[in-house]
Chains A and B, each alone.
Chain A
């Protein structure tokens, strides 16, 4: 069972939009092995973001089974889900989502502050993470003093600081110029290589998808073969 990091079976997700039921996912199964780099592709409205939210434990499926690191998620309550996100998943968003008033260091420390083991060496770990993404000289800068590429690096440092099994990146290069975008992709690939972190990248850019081991195409809430 535990040979997969991500093991999703017959996942459906139905949103209630007023009177209308929207079927975002219609019975979708996906397995991802540890250390894999997978991209999820599909046109907008295909359900790829919904899938990522469910895989990242930000949302629950309407039906279906989902195990992350061998742990069945369906039965867990909100706080237990929060704990899983804290320990097991790192998020990288298209719009970076850094705390604007906090320094790069404080931003990276954030997941550790909510961790059950409230380590004393938070600052050290956060500094190391920033050094790993090449921002060792920027740790006291605030987001508005950083470029887009640098902000995304801070976000990546934040994502990996609790040593998660998976990093989920939602259009990580969507708000960046191509040069910074390439740098971010290289960084993510290196992390995968050095640490063995599983990487799930949601994108609609075929060039990004080409850099990954496997492409999962989604159309109308189903996997398009």
Chain B
């Protein structure tokens, strides 16, 4: 019995009861579709988050005070940042940008807005890759001279003035003090982490320290952004920063009173989280595929019972056990493979749809259908068809020819 004719016969048998075949396939279609869509969304989410983190810059390090493990940490200062930026002690560091962060109430022309405020130095521009849609970034004299200058995020500008251009030279009151607008940040769009630069304002670090966000220690900063000279030097830069800060903070033993967080740690964290997420979604979808497989087994058992007489006749004219076995296995595999192919298309459409919905709600998610997930779904559905076909097919092949012939 050659394979092509067996295949044709199986197809004919499946098309002879179209409604039943369609309903049986539906289980597999939904199962495979769900697996494909869920994996695509999981992968898409991971890529979106990774992209977001990498967008900040892969060679970026965050240095902050360790308040959890140390009771009386020495705060970070501008001097620490200057030491970190020293090319002799830290050759792997290209720039260090100390900042202080807080909230401020802004008023302009009767409009009030509460925004995030960041006190920055010139290095901030390099480290954070700041781009302005108009105006100029703070100059060295503005920063050392405690200038009352402010750079607005686009959303802040919209809130205060109803527009985000032609605002250079306007006056904004920050915590009641008049500041002159010197620049507008370029719009960055939605951010998964909530604190988009669109909703922030920048002021010179010295101005923030002395007049807006006073800190207990002189020259104290909240956070130092450090950029390594390249992505490969991040680890060396981290080691050099540790050495410098331990020396400056006089730490010989025990916990450091600062933490250095690298982009890689964020990436690791994010991919762990999204990995769990993907496995979870895929698992739930896999269960529905399993249920689809049980549907196949059910229908194949019904089919064997219905066709007992046919099986008897085939055996009478010379069909061997393996002929009957392959006949039913081909039918069940065909059911699941065709269902699987339709399911892949459905899953693809589904993930496209979900991507659209996500985009509409400002969450950039491009569902990623990988070759792996397609292969996984195809192989899994074929395996489901084979596995759940074995029992009914085996039952058919074991029938005694005379008893099968005698049945009605």
Contacts and interface: CB of A to CB of B under 8 A. Distances in A.
A146 B320 CA distance: 29
Contacts of A102: 12
B323 interface: yes
A114 B1 contact: yes
Interface stretch (B194-202, B252-260, B309-317, B349-357): B309-317
Contact of B318 (A53, A59, A82): A82
B235 to A, nearest CB: 67
Interface string A48-85: 00000100101100000000000000000011001101
Given A58-B402, A79-B321, A118-B2, A101 B315 contact: no
Contact of B1 (A56, A78, A118, A158): A118
Contacts of B318: 82-83, 85-87, 111, 114-115, 162
A4 B52 CA distance: 89
A2 interface: no
B383 interface: no
Contacts of A82: 315, 318-321
B321 A158 contact: no
B16 interface: yes
B150 to A, nearest CB: 82
A190 B5 CA distance: 33
A113 B310 CA distance: 15
B108 interface: no
Identify which of B5, B16, B317, B401 gathers the most chain A CB atoms within 10 Å of its CB. Answer: B317
Interface string A71-109: 000000011001101110001010001010110000000
B111 interface: no
Given A97-B309, A113-B1, A113-B5, A91 B316 contact: yes
Contacts of A91: 316-317
B13 interface: yes
A111 B317 contact: yes
Interface in B30-52: none
Nearest to B404: A58
Contacts of A208: none
B313 A86 contact: no
A187 interface: no
A114 B13 contact: no
> How big is chain A's contact interface, by range?
20 to 34
Contacts of B313: 97, 99
Interface in A114-130: 114-115, 118
Contacts of B53: none
B402 A53 contact: yes
Contacts of A28: none
Nearest to B12: A101
A58 B5 CA distance: 26
A112 to B, nearest CB: 9
B317 A85 contact: yes
A185 interface: no
Contact of B317 (A59, A78, A114, A118): A114
A85 B316 contact: yes
A87 B320 CA distance: 13
Contacts of A85: 315-318
A30 interface: no
Nearest to A113: B1
A110 interface: yes
B291 interface: no
Nearest to B312: A97
A15 B309 CA distance: 21
A82 B317 CA distance: 7
A21 B71 CA distance: 93
B7 interface: no
Nearest to A50: B402
B405 interface: yes
A113 B405 CA distance: 19
Contacts of A162: 318
Contacts of A101: 12-13, 16
Contacts of A53: 402
A114 B319 contact: yes
B402 A114 contact: no
A101 B309 CA distance: 14
Nearest to A59: B402
Interface string A127-159: 000000000000000000000000000000010
11 contacts: A78-B320, A82-B315, A82-B318, A83-B318, A85-B317, A85-B318, A86-B318, A91-B317, A110-B314, A111-B318, A114-B317
Given A99-B313, A111-B317, 5 more contacts: A78-B321, A85-B318, A91-B317, A118-B1, A162-B318
By Cβ-Cβ distance, the 3 closest A-B pairs, closest first, are A86-B318, A114-B318, A111-B317
